[in-house]
Every structure is written in C-alpha cells, then in structure tokens.
Amino acid sequence: MKYISTRGKMEPASFLDAVMTGLAPDGGLLLPESLPNVSDKLEAWAHLSYQDLAFEVMRLFTTDMPAEDLKALIDKSYATFRAPDVTPVVPVGNVHILELWHGPTLAFKDVALQFLGNLFEYILEKRGGELNILGATSGDTGSAAIYGVHGKKNIRIFIMHPEGRTSLIQEKQMTSVLDDNVYNLAVEGTFDDCQHLMKTIFADVSFKEEHSLGSVNSVNWARVLVQTVYYFYSYFRVQERTGASEVQFSVPTGNFGDIMAGYIAAKIGLPVKKLILATNENNILSRFFNTGEYSLGEVVPTLSPSMDIQVASNFERYLYYRSGCDAEKLTEMMKHFGETGSLRVDGSDDLFAAGEGNTAETLATIRKVHDKCDYTLDPHTAVGVAVAEKFQCSETPTICLATAHPAKFTDAIEQALGEAAHHPVLDKLSDAETRCDTIANDEAAIRDYLVEKTRS
C-alpha cells in the first residue's frame, strides 16, 4: 500500500514514511493510492474483539510493517483504556451512543493518539533520529497527543492552543504534564490561527526537515486510519442487537477528521446509509453539504469549543474524492479558497446529511437525555444527538459518536443540569502544577521558539 498527496506532487510513500511525513511537502494531505474493498470480510470480522478488529482493518493499510509488530502496538495502545472493549456502544433512548472517551484523557482523540505515540516510538527505534511534534488543538487533541508521547525518548511535543478558548479542564490536562519533552503554547488567537501557523511552518520543507518536525493532528493519515476501526466495531455491536444490515452515524465535527474516518469506512465496504454531519454555530461544514458552498465566517465561541472551527483541515481529503481524485483540479480549488475564503462544488453526495445544533438545542438535549434516560452527554455529543433527531429513520439504527466525558465541560453541564459532572481523573487536576508559555499569534515567534527548544 502506497500513499499519495491530494495535490499530486509527491512520490508515492510507504505507510511508515507517510506517518513521519504528516503534511505532504506540496501542502497536500496523504491518502492511500487505492482503497481495498472489505465487503467480503464483514461476516468474519463481526465477532472479533476491538483489538483483533483493529489489526484486521489496519493491516490492509500498513503493508510495510510486520504483522506481529502491528499487533503488539495495537495491544500496547489499548491496554491504557478503562473499558475492556475500548469503545463500548450503549443504547440511550432512540440512539446508540458510541463511547469513545475511555482512554487516558477521556476524549475520542485517545483512540488514535495512544496508537500514534507508540508508532512514532517504534519508527524511531527502527530508524534512529528524533522527532519534534508540532500540533494545534481546539481542546482534546492536545492532551491526548501529550499523553501519547510524554516521557518517550527522542520525541519532543509542542502543542499550540488558543489562549482562553479551550475549557479550563482541557487546558489543565495539557499544561499539568510536566515532562521535559512537553511544551504547551497558549497562542493569542483562535484555533484556526493555531492551525494556520502549523500548516505554514510545515509548508517550509527545509525548516521541517532541519528540525525533524512531525504531526499528530488529523492531517496525519494514521489518525484517520485508526479511527475507521470504531465505525466497524460499533456497526457490529448494533447489528447484534437489532439485526439491522445498515446503520447511520451522527458525528459532531469541526475539523472533519472523525467523519472522514467514517467516509473511508463506507468507501471500503461498511454498510452506511447516512453520515450525519453535526456542527454547532460554526457551521461552515453543514452549510457546504446543504448548499455546495464552503465559505469562511467568524469563529463563534460556544459550549462545544472543540468544534469552534472554520477551516476544517481534513476537508481537503474529502474534496479530493469529490473532484474525482483529480489532484490538479483539487489544487486549483484550494488555491481559490486560500485567495477568496470560499469555494463551490456542484452536485451532492447522498451519503451525507448535515445540520446544526445551536447552544439552546445543545442544553435542551443534555437536559432531555439526562431526564429521560439518566445519561449525561457532553456538549459536543449533545450537538450530535440533537442533529441526529432531525434525521431519524425507523428502519435504520442511528449510532451517535460520543467524543468526550461530560466532566471535561463542567460549565455546559452546570448550565444544563444545575450541577457539575465529575470524573476522578479530572478531579485530581484541581491542584495540579502547570507549565505553559503564552506566545504571539506570529509565525516568526513560533519558529524562534522551536529553534530554541530543539537546540537546547
């Protein structure tokens, strides 16, 4: 299996090279040169454990890794999860909640980043050298990435978050990790600013190579690949319960990475009737799927801060497929977007439905589900459930992706229910020592910081 850039100006790379590359040198994102069809494997996969299913799915895309090494990395990565089945599926009212938050930082990003941290370490042990990870986070990616690599040899991690725009607990989870190889940067701007800084720095290939920069954001193909597994796993669990041969997924999303994994799963043979894309007031993605226009707006702070994004970094992968895998056409499209802040795609994709769950709907959904089902949703998952209700289908079960434990967003839960949500892992952080550097929203300042810390 080889990997190519969406912009077509990179030689095909192996999986391990693709992981270390992150963002392609031509500014594009990496995708498999071709996709397998697993339709004939579904029956054999139906009753596998999460770990064994992960192995079967991922081995198709990791052909330059010995099978026993891949299996060992998967087992090591999910040994850190608090649920034996890694991502349990819980019936809640009319939907099935896919709980993705049983990892170390209580967020869905752990599913991919525990594996990716171990994979980075594995590659460096094989090849030598060092890796300096530069990442941007709207909340959960940062802590999950830090927990994936803190204390690991020959790896440093630099995580940029928008100052004052993550939840206090999210910030505390990141900044309370005091290992010498961890650097937290509070950028005076939005998440989109952080993401732009990261992509601009990665686009300077000589700087990237000189300072051994790598990515843990979902621009890294490995993130998307690992996340496809829980779409298959939850499908099998719901099929066991309901006998349904087809499901639909509701995915709260801001950066398009999680739903891109569902799109790949569908493309390789998972029986998906609909991918329901759920946004909050930052609705650039839902507007696109309803109008064909992808155009920037102002970032609106909400109760679901991890979705307070306008430029969705993974969307280019989807546009590549929508453009007929035409790298030249895709490149022109992205150039136009960079110059004007908008682009348009004619036609529609019947696989997708899209809607918006605003703040009032988010709070009402948290209250309703708590009162009727004695189950507490975090605000991001509540957006997913609120939008899913607009597309309910009696013949097709709906699986809603639960992206974080509610205790990570105490302000929203208190507004909805009048009392805070708790988790012992998070309660321990209240008095934790923290370390973080505030930095200007300026590319030169970030570069100087990286140079200083990687040469020390």
Q: How many other C-beta atoms are found inside a 10 Å radius of the C-beta of residue 395?
A: 7
**190: which 2 tokens?**
């939005």
**287: which 2 tokens?**
């507007």
Distance CA 287, CA 23 (A): 26
**250: which 2 tokens?**
């509701």
3-state secondary structure at position 311: coil
Identify whether 199 is a catalytic site residue. no
Distance CA 117, CA 167 (A): 24
Q: Which residues fall within 8 angstroms of residue 420, CB to CB, at 6 or more apart?
A: 407, 410, 413, 414
Given 2, 76, 109, 274, which residue is catalytic? Answer: 109
SS (H, E, C) 366-415: HHHHHHHHCCCCCHHHHHHHHHHHHHCECCECEEEEECECHHHHHHHHHH
Quote the distance between the C-alpha of residue 58 and its chain's center.
17
Sheet with 95-99: list strands edge to edge. 89-92, 95-99, 398-402, 247-252, 272-279, 352-356
Q: How many other C-beta atoms are found inside a 10 Å radius of the C-beta of residue 199?
A: 17
Active site residues: 109
